Amino acid sequence: MDTVIVQPSDPRTRPPGLLRLGPGDVLTFGRGAPNAPVGLELAGDGVSRRAGELAAVDDHWRISNFSRTTTYVVENLEGAGEHVKVAPGRIGAPIPFEISRVVLPVADGFVGFTVYAPQHSYSDSYSDLTGSEATGTAAGTGARAPGAGERTVLPFSLDPTAKYFLVLLALCEPRLREASAVAIPNAGDVVERLRPLPSCADLTKSAVNYHIDYLATTKLRVREREGTDGAARMDWKREAIVALALRFDLVRDEHLRMLPARRAGQ
């Protein structure tokens, strides 16, 4: 199971595409050199040849900054400006965010990459919202209780405080309210439904499609349908994640209170 997924944000980055890490895997990043290869090459003269290292842990990841002079920033893409500064020389800084962007300054701007940590685990305090099983956790501490044994791995690890969960909830709302409902909201409908929430004031159709893609490929792992592309492919993803979420009660009636009050006609 992947603990961490790294997505380069610059087309010049090598290798292109997604890099998947399991627990214990390590990925070095930097400008690289023939005698100093790195796992993820970042373009930019201001980037050290071996700038840092990313290590996947059970349900989160750590970052090391090998630079002697430059601070790196890890932004929480689900938070309103929340970020972690990684000082020069800092080794193994734990990152608590599920969706992050690592930013390195260079002479003409910034370079970086996006990191997904989709296997976050949650304590019993979240079970009322998620309905998920989280056994063997000392109440209020997140620590393993003595003799609790191996942690139960959640098949679908969803964070009800994350924006992608609100998108999933908005997609499922018609069928939660009326089981016979056929239509599934499109990206524009989701934007209109969620925008009254302060956390979604800047939500766009592109962002909704991004969250749908993340849910389909990473959080719920629905099988890719072959032979479709473009709008048809996105329609199929919406239908697939709604069907799976309702089938396994990943969203339920009690979650509907997280949505804005409905206006007349909604």
- The answer to whether the bond into 118 is cis (omega within 30° of 0) is no
Confidence check: pLDDT of 72 > 90:
yes
Q: Does residue 131 carry a pLDDT above 80?
A: no
What the chain holds in terms of domains, given with CATH numbers, is 4-116 (2.60.200.20), 163-258 (no CATH)
**Dist. CA 4–CA 200, nearest whole Å:** 26
Residue 141 reports pLDDT greater than 80: no
How much is the pLDDT for 137?
Answer: 45
pLDDT at 221 (0 to 100): 85
Task: Please give the pLDDT value at position 140.
Answer: 43
For 137-151, 156-170, 249-263, which range has the lowest pLDDT when averaged over its residues? 137-151
pLDDT in tens, 7-29: 988 777 788 888 999 999 999 99
CA distances from 152 to 57, 113, 141, 145, 149 (A): 16, 30, 17, 13, 9
Residue 249 has pLDDT above 70, yes or no: yes
pLDDT at residue number 79: 74
pLDDT in tens, 181-233: 778 999 999 999 999 999 899 999 999 999 999 999 888 988 776 666 667 77
Least confident of 19-23, 42-46, 161-165, 229-233: 229-233
